[in-house]
Amino acid sequence: MTPEADRVLQEALRLPPEARAALAGSLIDSLDETVDPDAEQAWAAEIQRRSRELASGRVKPVPWSEARRRIVEG
């Protein structure tokens, strides 16, 4: 990492969590060189499907701490 990038990172780490999340999202978005015109519609359909599964009780949500534990432990 360049000294400039390290300086920017250190400044960013002093931001509140919500601002860091927004910044991270913007940085990730900046890496996309091509835009899939169908992506937004596909995500909307996926969100609706998952919402229906939650509302029907077919899928049970788990707390983030539990989901993270499962991810880390594999």
Asked if residue 74 and residue 50 are part of one domain, the reply reads yes
For 7-60, the DSSP string reads: HHHHHHTTS-HHHHHHHHHHHHHHH--S--TTHHHHHHHHHHHHHHHHHHTSS-
Q: Which of 32-36, 45-49, 58-62, 63-67 has the lowest mean pLDDT?
A: 32-36
Asked if residue 73 and residue 51 are part of one domain, the reply reads yes
**Domain of 64, in residue numbers:** 38-74
Asked if residue 45 and residue 68 are part of one domain, the reply reads yes
Count of domains for the chain: 2
For the stretch 2-17, pLDDT in tens is 999 999 999 999 999 9
- Residue 58 is classified by DSSP as S
pTM of the shown model: 0.50
